[in-house]
Amino acid sequence: MKKRGQGQSWSLDIVLAFVIFILIIGIFYTILSNRKDDTKNIQLEASSIANNIEIGKGTESEMTIIYNGTVEEGKLEELFQKDYNATKNRYGIKGDFCIYIVDQEGFVVSVTTPTGTYTSFGNSNLKINNIPCGSKVS
């Protein structure tokens, strides 16, 4: 009888390690691809807000405050008086946002409304110059 040659055998440990390695690669791929989707969604929402704010970029809405490159103060005051959550729901925005105006020198412009003076409109968890968004200026 002829002796059989010794071939490589795959032990259970090697097969298990290979399967775990493939699973880890799959998990990393899934996590990284989800982040790309989140980034795209955030960019779409930001674009939607920008288009609603400026008449030249979209159709006029309740959020429109910029006409022909000029901020209309009355509309800005109206926006700053609106309820953040109602505005967010009205436009189908899932993420949080903060709207603020910066002058030509880069300073944040405050807006005076009948309820007070504000530097921004949006979620108070977001901060502009370390000041919570939508907070009153004293």
Question: Tens digit of pLDDT for each residue in 21-34?
Answer: 777 777 777 777 66
Q: How far apart are CA 77 and CA 42, in angstroms?
A: 26
Q: What is the pTM of this model?
A: 0.61
Identity of the amino acid at 36: K
8 located within any domain: no
- Mention every residue, 6+ apart, whose C-beta is less than 8 A from residue 70: none
Domain count, the chain: 1
Give the domain extent around 64.
Answer: 18-132
Residues with pLDDT less than 50, the chain: none
75 located within any domain: yes
Task: Please report the pLDDT score of residue 48 as a whole number.
Answer: 74
Task: Please report the pLDDT score of residue 52 as a whole number.
Answer: 72
For residue 16, what are its two tokens? 């298990």
Contacts of the segment 85-92: beta carbons below 8 A, 24+ positions apart: 87/62, 87/63, 90/62, 91/48, 91/49, 91/52, 91/61, 91/63
36 located within any domain: yes
97 located within any domain: yes
5 located within any domain: no
10 located within any domain: no
Percent of the chain whose pLDDT exceeds 90: 3
89 located within any domain: yes
